[in-house]
Amino acid sequence: MAVAILTAGPSIEHAAAQTSSPRDIVGVWAEDEGQLKFEVFEVGEGYEARIIHSSRVMEADGRTFKADTLNPDPALRSRSLEGTVLLSGLTWSPEHRRWERGNLYDGSSGRTYSAHVSLVDGHMELRGYLGVPLLGQTVILRRVQ
């Protein structure tokens, strides 16, 4: 699976995330390599994230966001990917101690993947996948704010 905003990485699954509150996910998160940075915020009873930076959806100048030309909705194809919600519908699962049932939008392909998020040892593990989590990719992010 080629998820443009995710980097190939280890398939990391943990039995229990280390978090004390569903709101622990709120804040700004970034990859160590600087490829991806986004802000997670609360929406109703769930959580979403908007793009702050993603090298995969930037023009060659590294400052200008590309247009959402591959969006399946023709009405959205002229919008900039800047600030676009890339992660939506995440809800806290007390049983699994992670955020589940999310959708991950890949602006560089126009595809949407299923997603879940765990917080482990102070970092975020974002897993995007098609079908089952085993067939996905995980990206590791650290809190920046």
- For 19, the token pair is 């978090």
Distance, in Å, from the CA atom of 37 to the CA atom of 5, rounded to the nearest integer, reads: 10
- What is the three-class DSSP state of 23? helix
pTM, whole model, 2 decimals? 0.84
**What is the distance between the terminal CA atoms of the chain, rounded to a whole angstrom?**
30
Q: Are 133 and 127 in contact (CB under 8 A)?
A: yes
Ordered per-residue pLDDT tens for the chain, 145 residues: 334 444 334 444 444 456 668 999 999 999 988 899 999 999 999 999 999 999 999 999 989 999 999 999 999 999 999 999 999 999 999 999 999 999 999 999 999 999 999 999 989 999 999 988 888 999 999 999 6
Distance, in Å, from the CA atom of 84 to the CA atom of 100, rounded to the nearest integer, reads: 20
- What is the three-class DSSP state of 76? helix
